[in-house]
Chain A
Amino acid sequence: MSTNPSYAPERETSEGKVFTVTGGDWDTVVSGTDPVSDERIVVNMGPQHPSTHGVLRLILELEGETVREMRSVVGYLHTGIEKSIEYRNWVQGTTFVTRMDYLSPIFNETAYSLAVEKLLGIEDQITERASTIRVLMMELNRISSHLVWLATTGMELGAISIMLYGFREREYILEIFEMVSGLRMNMAYVRPGGVAQDVPDSAIKKIQEFLKMMPKRLKEYEDLLSGQPIWTERTQGVAVLDVTACVALGVTGPVLRSAGLPWDLRKTEPYCGYENYEFDVPTSNDGDVWGRYQVRLAEIRESLKLIEQALDKLRPGPIMVADKKIAWPAQLALGVDGLGNSLEHVAKIMGQSMESLIHHFKLVTEGFRVPPGQVYVAIEGPRGELGAHAVSDGGTRPYRVHFREPSFVNLQALPAMAEGGLIADVIAGGASLDPVMGGCDR
């Protein structure tokens, strides 16, 4: 081989023989150095790998193309949200938690708000309109999150078109969010006691248009993917996880439902009035990536049904609790430059009512007190059980808030899915868990 001009001559080092390859046929090189090729090699994938869903690092031990062992390394997106939150008041907490899982901000806010409301003991005082708006926003958010899943998973498995379509429809939902809350992401829209402001009529119109448009678009996605031989080859029978493994590893959400267990907290432990809606819990018996794809598409359809019902249920009424000692005092209005306090409200607190001014000042600077104790509230996020464990010491700031993040818990299942399979299926399996590292690392 050293006679071939493409290769630099080999040399002996303390680590063994080193070949410098400058070109030529790879097979010839490999057979020259390792004729049996039974060596296990360790490959580091990520944390900046386009197919590992954000900053997730995978360490793979490979035998040829087969993954023998796999470990995931997380923590690259750790921002200390659970620590920072202890230095702000309870309402400000919403602005922190919304940034955890950035694809499902409304769910983070709702779980947090429900926990604070349970600590305050005001669950019964939450108005019906506020609960309905929460359901409406959560289901829109679920669709947008699933669309990102579809788009990125498609891209990672080689289907580029679906990426463009998925993000196109998600953009539509983000526009709805902007009309409702003033922001596309990280809205801090759901607050302890209700929601920040009412849904404008223009947004309702846009949601109705979305409801009309979406079933056709879903059909397009299925036409594009379901019959596609590459898509079916890459997903069917890949990264299988059965119910026992799911429950043991704490995996919930679409992955658990794709294994056949219809466990959906909206049905099993209803909150926000989900018991008054009609919808199904889609399941599949495949337990593979294909099953998860089908469950998620079916869930988008169920969410559309829920949005339609929520729109029907929307009756005029207050969107915050009546208790002025808890309700956020500002009367927000959509200004030309985004959100702002309504001029009427500013005129009232500054000009007419000293009481309102005191109220406003105390609530905004100090916040309300929350009676001591601890609660755990779980809701069904797009990725599974999203739980908020909130502890109060009786003060105006959270004593401890911990989020049971489905991304974090579900990622533990990746070795169980990937070991023994091909390296290409690691990507499919990881994508099917739909981890969002912002939520995983918090």
Chain B
Amino acid sequence: MVTTSPDKDPVTDSQPPSAKPGGGVPVQATPVGATTGAPAELPPSSVAGRGMFGISGSGDTSGFGGLVRRRVGGGGSERPYGSYFDEVYDALAEAFPGLDDAIEKVVVDRNELTLHVKAERILDVARTMRDEESLRFELCSSVSGVDYLGSDERRLHVTYHLASMTYRRRVRLEVAVGTEHPHVPSVTPVYPTADWQERETYDMFGIIFDGHPGLTRILMPDDWEGYPQRKDYPLGGVPVEYKGAEIPPPDRRRSYQ
């Protein structure tokens, strides 16, 4: 049996979320997401994340406080990048005049190369990546989005995972746009496979791919309001009564963090 919670959350009104248009998404909602409260916030901005369970100072008898791991810095990586990454970058620089202008930064992390590309240049970079003899990234494996709410001003990122079947290499291209003007050129002229994947990214994040042959929602219903994978879009759900006890919707449940 489905009931509404007796103590209402002040943010939402009395209607169950599912009954409202857009699944009950408030226009100005407090961010909710992966971590408690404001989940999109990154942990304290020290260079190293401390502690497996985030414990610092005293009182920790479990031994979990001792672990220190390096955090990836916000800046790009320095040369040499290692592995085949230098070769890829040099080949791209040679084939693409004015590359430094188009690339914001280069990040090498966990043996993966990420080229952060300016949004308006992504199609040109992708075309060079595919066509250039020494690059040959024939396959666009995946296109998807990530919402870095709270940690990046241009919070909406699109990631393109390219694979070179000839050289057996992989590269990630990443572009960042803000929510006020979320426009990115579509890469469908270069990679037709990006068609549905860009539609999904539009559907989930509201990123508009200019030049896409038919940018419509693909997974959500056509008349849906809001972009579900954004971090300020609540998970929603209704409290459920089970054997007399009430179980709150997932985003209102107690969280141990």
Contacts of B192 on A, CB cut-off 8 Å?
248-250, 412
Considering only residues 373-423 of chain A, those with a C-beta below 8 Å from chain B are 373-376, 378, 385, 387, 389, 391, 393-400, 402, 404, 408-409, 411-412
Q: Which of A81-89, A99-107, A303-311 forms part of the interface with chain B?
A: A81-89
Q: Which of A4-12, A140-148, A173-181, A363-371 forms part of the interface with chain B?
A: A363-371
* CB atoms of A394 and B43 under 8 A apart: yes
With contacts A325-B64, A389-B161, A409-B197 taken as known, whether A250 is within 8 angstroms of B34 at the C-beta atoms is no
CA distance A310 to B168 in the complex (A): 26
- Rounded to whole Å, the gap between the CB of B224 and the closest CB of chain A is 10
* CB atoms of B34 and A87 under 8 A apart: yes
CA distance A80 to B140 in the complex (A): 24
CA distance A401 to B14 in the complex (A): 32
- Interface majority SS on B: helix, strand, loop or mixed? loop
* CB atoms of A409 and B34 under 8 A apart: no
Q: Which of B47-55, B96-104, B118-126, B240-248 forms part of the interface with chain A?
A: B47-55
* CB atoms of A86 and B62 under 8 A apart: no
Tell me if A293 is interfacial: C-beta within 8 Å of chain B.
no
CA distance A269 to B256 in the complex (A): 38
Contacts of B42 on A, CB cut-off 8 Å?
372, 393-394
* CB atoms of A441 and B43 under 8 A apart: no
Contact with B along A32-65 (1 / 0, CB 8 A): 0000000000000000000000000000000000
Contact with B along A314-358 (1 / 0, CB 8 A): 000000000001000000000000000000000000000001001
With contacts A86-B34, A375-B110, A389-B161 taken as known, whether A395 is within 8 angstroms of B52 at the C-beta atoms is no
* CB atoms of B64 and A362 under 8 A apart: yes
* CB atoms of A75 and B43 under 8 A apart: no
| Tally of contact residues, B, Cβ under 8 A | 62
* CB atoms of A389 and B219 under 8 A apart: no
Contact with A along B152-177 (1 / 0, CB 8 A): 00000001010101001010100000
Contacts of A168 on B, CB cut-off 8 Å?
none
- Give the residue of A251, A355, A373 whose beta carbon is less than 8 angstroms from that of B62: A355
- Rounded to whole Å, the gap between the CB of B23 and the closest CB of chain A is 10
CA distance A86 to B192 in the complex (A): 30
Which residue of A is nearest B33, CB measured?
A86
